[in-house]
Amino acid sequence: MSDDLATGQYRDSSKLMARMRIHLKYGNRNALDEFPARLGIPAGASVLEVGCGPGRFWERAASAFPADLDILLTDISPGMVEEALARVRGVGLWGNVRGQVADVMSLPFADASFDVVMAMHMLYHAPDPAAAVAEIARVLRPGGMVVVTTNGLANFSAVMELSHAVFGGSSTDPGAAAFSLEAGEDILRQCFGEVEVIRSVDVLRVTDPADVVAFLLSYPPGDAAGPDARDRLEAKVKEAFAAGDGVFPITRDSGCLIGRGPLSA
């Protein structure tokens, strides 16, 4: 994957958290909160996370997983690996937590090395998501499992329309455009004998325009916007809030794909 991600957008978690904040502040529990308990990860399993980011998933899922997992956290960003290691070790549940810089497009591991691979909202960064999924399947043991989360095509559509109105470009969630829940299911079925889809659609009722502005300025094209474009964005966002009497509803469309039984090449 591009070195620009490791040195720019994902050098650390600051820009990611500008996007996550809107979910943490306005999001309620949904179907995705329950999926870790449905995975049935066995005691002693060897688990690889690709694109681990700051490792926040493990804090949320700790109560659903056995305490004796062997966890390897990987990311193309050394800063993210360092942050994830500190966070996951800080949970205090797992004794064997390691970190390594690695690219999902060319994983530095032997065939059939892991029982479980996690890819949480990251495959849309891969230049070839299908090849990345095939690489994940390669390092899984027979009967192993991949857990992928991503967004549906309707995700954050109202926010994307604001971005399009100010900055141009696509009016679709860029992550979903690159690797959507819909397309991801088809891709996983090429590499796994069984694929389960867990989908969640809900609405965030945002009450602070600054949260939407911060979200759109945290990644391209907003992160490179000059003062005039930022002013136009703020004005457009305020109009949207005014039209909703101070509330801006955002449809959140996301899901989890669980692939079991990697197919032999």
240's CB contacts (< 8 A; 6+ apart) are 158, 162, 209, 212, 248
The rounded distance, in Å, linking the Cα atoms of 151 and 201 is 10
Q: What is residue 2's predicted lDDT score, i.e. its pLDDT?
A: 52
Helix (H) or strand (E) holding 254: strand 248-262
158's CB contacts (< 8 A; 6+ apart) are 240, 248, 249, 250, 251
Pairing of strands 192-206, 248-262: antiparallel
Q: What is residue 8's predicted lDDT score, i.e. its pLDDT?
A: 52
Helix (H) or strand (E) holding 218: none
Q: What is residue 11's predicted lDDT score, i.e. its pLDDT?
A: 60
The rounded distance, in Å, linking the Cα atoms of 70 and 114 is 9
R_g of the chain computed on alpha carbons: 19
Helices (H) and strands (E) in the chain, counts: 11, 7
The rounded distance, in Å, linking the Cα atoms of 38 and 174 is 29
Record the tokens describing residue 147, joined without a space: 């857990």
Q: What is residue 18's predicted lDDT score, i.e. its pLDDT?
A: 78
Q: Kindly list the averaged pLDDT for each block of 10 residues, start to end, along the chain of length 265.
A: 54 72 85 82 96 92 92 95 96 95 97 97 95 98 96 93 89 85 94 95 95 90 89 96 96 95 82
Q: What is residue 234's predicted lDDT score, i.e. its pLDDT?
A: 95
Helix (H, G, I), strand (E, B) or coil at 132: helix
Q: What angle do CA 182, 188, 66 make, to 5 degrees?
A: 105
Q: Which domains does the chain have, with CATH numbers?
A: 3-151+174-200+254-262 (3.40.50.150)
User: Model's pTM, two decimal places?
Assistant: 0.89
